[in-house]
């Protein structure tokens, strides 16, 4: 019984650890999709016919990002030193931007003078740039810069629970006490075995009755013999309600398992790993923003 209880506590500890690991995976923001019965990762085939583990985005919305995508002008058309056009559809790094509140200022950078232009907004996007004065003395190296424009883009921000400062809790059974009281009952049983045999003598036609358990059937004198055997056995059982009512035994505290579940502080390696993940995510986000600007 004690062994069964101890094994049960060990299995409970295993279930606690498994649950904590699962919660930690969910808090990371990128959880693996697993089979509910076996815990094995589930796979799928991607567009390249390659097997990959299925993942679930477990991040939550918290706060907002305020940003605007700045526009970048494209190729500048110059003819006889005069600017004829500024493209917003062709050229290296051209970008119409987004979420402008009003048209940005167009600055023309080059060796020439006198050129002016105006940006045209459509739904917060720099759709085109109109040259209002072509100026003079410009070359093919002329560039255009867009300044200002106001406006910001407010987008909900996704963050993992760990990025928000939460850490998974691990629990452990401590100070476990297993106490079981039993009652010992002594019982005595008497077993008696008797056998009877009847034999007919052919000469005298007399019946002889042999009684006994010795097996000596050829002995002519009838007799009767009994063998008595006694045995004593010790039986143990837990204290139950029947025993309590019969012997006026108090059942309170007769069988007891006492233990405590306490939280275990997260290991230092886990906190260090979380910081590394956050720094990596921040670096990737900065690269993504830089590539789009």
**Residue-wise DSSP of 191-232:** EEE--EEEEE-TTT--EEEEE-SS--TT--S-----EEEEEE
Token code pair at residue 241: 């309600």
Token code pair at residue 275: 């910081």
Tell me the CA end-to-end span of the chain in Å, nearest whole number.
70
Q: Looking at residue 83, what is its pLDDT?
A: 92
Q: Looking at residue 172, what is its pLDDT?
A: 86
- Say if residue 141 is exposed, middle or buried (CB neighbours under 10 Å; 0-12, 13-18, 19+): exposed
Q: Which of 71, 79, 137 is nearest to 107 (CA)?
A: 71
Would you list the domain boundaries of the chain?
A: 2-65+161-178+259-275, 69-151, 184-252
**Look-up of token digits 């918290």:** 62
The CA distance from 83 to 77, in Å, is 6
Q: Looking at residue 280, what is its pLDDT?
A: 82
Q: Looking at residue 184, what is its pLDDT?
A: 55
Three-class SS state of 135: coil
Q: Looking at residue 177, what is its pLDDT?
A: 80
Q: What is the pLDDT along the chain (293 residues), one digit of tens a residue?
A: 778 888 888 888 888 888 888 888 888 888 888 888 887 889 998 888 888 889 888 888 988 877 777 888 888 999 888 999 999 888 888 888 888 888 999 999 888 889 999 999 998 889 999 999 999 999 888 889 888 887 777 778 888 888 888 888 888 888 888 777 666 555 555 555 444 554 544 444 444 444 444 444 434 444 444 444 455 554 555 555 565 556 555 545 466 778 888 888 877 787 787 778 778 877 877 777 666 55
């Amino acid at each position: 019984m004690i062994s069964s209880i101890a094994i049960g506590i060990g299995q409970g500890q295993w279930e606690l650890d498994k649950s904590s690991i699962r919660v930690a995976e969910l808090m990371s923001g990128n959880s693996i999709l697993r089979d509910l019965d076996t815990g094995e990762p589930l796979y799928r085939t991607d567009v390249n016919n390659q097997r990959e583990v299925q993942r679930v985005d477990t991040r939550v919305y918290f706060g907002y990002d305020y940003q605007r995508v700045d526009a970048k002008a494209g190729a500048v058309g110059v003819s006889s030193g005069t600017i004829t056009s500024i493209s917003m559809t062709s050229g290296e790094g051209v970008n119409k931007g987004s979420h402008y509140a009003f048209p940005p200022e167009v600055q023309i950078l080059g060796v020439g003078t006198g050129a002016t232009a105006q940006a045209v907004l459509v739904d917060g996007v720099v759709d085109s740039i109109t040259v209002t004065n072509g100026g003079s003395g410009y070359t093919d190296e002329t560039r255009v810069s867009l300044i200002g424009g106001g406006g910001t883009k407010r987008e909900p921000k996704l963050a993992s629970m760990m990025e928000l400062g939460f850490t998974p809790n691990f629990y452990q059974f401590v100070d476990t006490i297993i106490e079981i009281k039993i009652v010992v009952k002594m019982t005595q049983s008497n077993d008696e075995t008797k056998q009877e045999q009847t034999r007919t003598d052919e000469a005298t036609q007399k019946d002889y009755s042999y009684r006994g358990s010795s097996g000596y059937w050829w002995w002519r004198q009838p007799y009767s013999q009994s063998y008595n055997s006694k045995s004593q056995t010790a039986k143990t059982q837990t204290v139950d309600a029947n025993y309590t009512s019969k012997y006026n035994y108090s059942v309170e505290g007769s069988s007891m398992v006492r233990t405590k579940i306490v939280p275990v502080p997260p290991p230092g390696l886990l906190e260090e790993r979380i910081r590394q993940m956050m720094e990596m995510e921040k670096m990737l986000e900065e690269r993504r923003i830089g590539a789009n600007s």
